Amino acid sequence: MIEKNKIKWLNRLAMKKYRQEYGVFVAEGAKTVEELLPAFRCQSLYYTAAYTGKLPAGVSVRVTDEELRKISNMEAPQGVLAVFEMAKETPLNLRSDITLVLDGVQDAGNLGTILRAADWFGFEQVICTKGTVDVYNPKVVQATMGALARVKVTYVETADLLAVVRKEQLPLYVTDLSGKDLYESVIKSPALMVFGNEGNGVSREMRDAATDRLLLPNYPVGRKCSESLNVGVATALVCAEIRRRQR
């Protein structure tokens, strides 16, 4: 049985300020929880009789379906909920690969989708500017489907990131509707590839500092179509093109 104070505490973790205060986040569902177990320290795990997966010793508590509903962030809880400690910050390494940068991406589902794409295509580091949705938001964690276990996410101020880019003399590419055709452009590595906010695109600071602005062209060129691509879809397509060139 879960005490009322514990239920209240777990519910608070849906809010960013409490996650940051306690340094923990929540993950739900067998797939997500079991992917994260080797990568993050599990503080507690709550499971129902229906769950048959891994149970870390000393922190696993069996609960009823009703109790799980009280602590879950999901409309239909999936049998297991775990509380993990957040990853400790480590220095950025911008010289090993093309680093993805998310500049003010605000939709939790988009961030989760982008991290899954980064994981699929082997981009192990993603930088987020401070305006980007919290990676430990429960909706983001669920949307990643465990990609957080392999993709390092770091939040930085835009000015601080651009200072490092200038110091390291790294190419900075931004995706932009007025940019040059991605498929006809040279993309150097190491470099940074920036994707912008769902409504406003890449910030002025990023655009002004860009080495090149790149566009994913529609097909055929000139045909009337949607105004733009969803940022999650665009990121996946750019990642695929980068890796195609590197094979």
- Residue 1, pLDDT score: 78
What are the start and end residues of each CATH 3.40.1280.10 domain in the chain?
A: 98-246
List per-residue pLDDT tens for the chain, 247 residues long. 799 999 999 999 999 999 999 999 999 999 999 999 999 999 999 999 999 999 999 999 999 999 999 999 999 999 999 999 999 988 889 998 999 999 999 999 999 999 999 999 999 999 999 999 999 999 999 999 999 999 999 999 999 999 999 999 999 999 999 999 999 999 999 999 999 999 999 999 999 999 999 999 999 988 999 988 999 999 999 999 999 999 8
How far is residue 148's CA from residue 146's CA, in Å, rounded to a whole number?
Answer: 5
Q: Quote the pLDDT of residue 129.
A: 96
pTM for the model:
0.94
Per the DSSP assignment, residues forming a β-bridge with 140 are none
Q: What is the pLDDT of residue 90?
A: 87
Predicted local confidence at residue 227, as pLDDT: 87
Q: Which helix (H) or strand (E) holds 111?
A: helix 108-120
Find out whether 147 and 232 touch, Cβ atoms under 8 Å.
Answer: no
Q: Residues 144, 173: contact at Cβ < 8 Å?
A: no
Q: Yes or no: say if 105 and 128 are a contact pair by the CB < 8 Å rule.
A: yes
Q: Is the peptide bond before 190 cis (omega within 30 degrees of 0)?
A: yes
CATH 1.10.274.50 corresponds to the domain 4-85: no
- Residue spans in the chain of domains classed CATH 3.30.1330.30: 4-85
CATH 3.40.1280.10 fits 98-246, yes or no: yes
Q: What is the pLDDT of residue 7?
A: 97
